Chains A and B, each alone.
Chain A
Amino acid sequence: MAGTALRGRLTWQVATVAALTRETTSVCTIGLEPPDWPGHRAGQHLDVRLTAEDGYRAERSYSIASAPGERLAITVERLDDGEVSPYLTEELQVGDELELRGPIGGYFVWEPNDGSPLMLLAGGSGVVPLRCILRDRLRTGSDVPARLLYSARTLPDVIYRDELGQHHDGVEVGYTLTRGQPPGWTGHTGRINADLLADAAWPAAANPVAYVCGPTSFVETAAAGLVGLGYPPGRVKTERFGATGGT
């Protein structure tokens, strides 16, 4: 595990916001320049801490969107009743400071030298760490076959649409739109279920490793669906954002 030596303590550091990219009407990617980033592994997250003038503090976790080696970035979805996400997606400006610590996570991580076929299931903003995995796969020249099944409400809600659409070289990207589809839509519709997975997932016999990320209810259904197809539970890694994601 070279490069991931843990110093035993996570320390907060103050990063500068270097870039802001609007991905969808409610989703924004924040490019960050921390002074002392130790590097990370695909799938990990970082903690962000905000401090108001009167000392009030709020802390949230966000999956890292950038691949190891790229400029650090997180992708944040604005939640209507959120306390932190509206600030990060609407108020934050390039040049502002953002306190963060990380990387965090030792379970929901992908190693480029893992030769297993990759099965990625994304629910909404759960696509963020999975996009990181795909970017890491690309950067390291891994040729493991990879499939991403991405569940989103509507096509405009799909994050990284252009980037995901560009994938080739052994990556198949499929979508299921749960609330509305554009005219002529040929992809899947409706929430993920056993039938959809039987159609879209790698067969268990291929010994794939699966990463499932999204709201809790999505993860429960999707992970159970893979286990139902014969995936050993230990080969289905899950990360639940909860209904409020990072808020």
Chain B
Amino acid sequence: MEPLDGNSIGGLLIDVFGAEMTGVSGTCGYCGDTGPVAGLVVYRQAPGTVARCRVCGNIVMVFVKVRAMTCVDLMGMARLDKPGAA
């Protein structure tokens, strides 16, 4: 199963951030690579959604839907621009 990219979680990101995020710039906390969220490598099959840095492969974002709530882990991101900054 090939992974997708950040475009595929566009809807999820709007749910979580309340805004379009695919064009927003993020910086990987492991290797420093900077690029649009759309470029992240995304594994979508549940139990959760995992986004990895395209360059180093480390996990930068995790989204887990638990009942009506989405748990968001952005600790792998060193920096994530604000929505609308694109």
Contacts and interface: CB of A to CB of B under 8 A. Distances in A.
Interface string B23-39: 11000000000011111
Interface stretch (A100-108, A141-149, A188-196): A100-108
The size bracket of the interface on A is 20 to 34
Nearest to B38: A107
Interface stretch (B9-17, B56-64, B71-79): B9-17
Interface string A217-247: 1000000000000000100011111111000
B10 A45 contact: yes
A187 interface: no
DSSP majority for the B interface?
A: mixed
B39 A242 contact: no
Contacts of A104: 10-11, 14, 20
A8 to B, nearest CB: 4
Interface in A15-63: 45, 47, 61
A107 B1 contact: no
A107 B3 contact: no
A206 interface: no
Nearest to B21: A106
B1 A10 contact: no
Chain B interface size range = 20 to 34
B7 interface: yes
Contacts of A102: 11
A138 B10 CA distance: 27
Interface string A78-110: 000000000000000000000001101111100
Contacts of B19: 6, 8
Nearest to A47: B11
Contact of A239 (B7, B21, B23, B24): B7
B18 interface: yes
A137 to B, nearest CB: 20
7 contacts: A6-B18, A8-B19, A105-B7, A107-B7, A215-B2, A241-B4, A242-B4
Interface of B: 1-8, 10-11, 14-15, 18-24, 35-39, 86
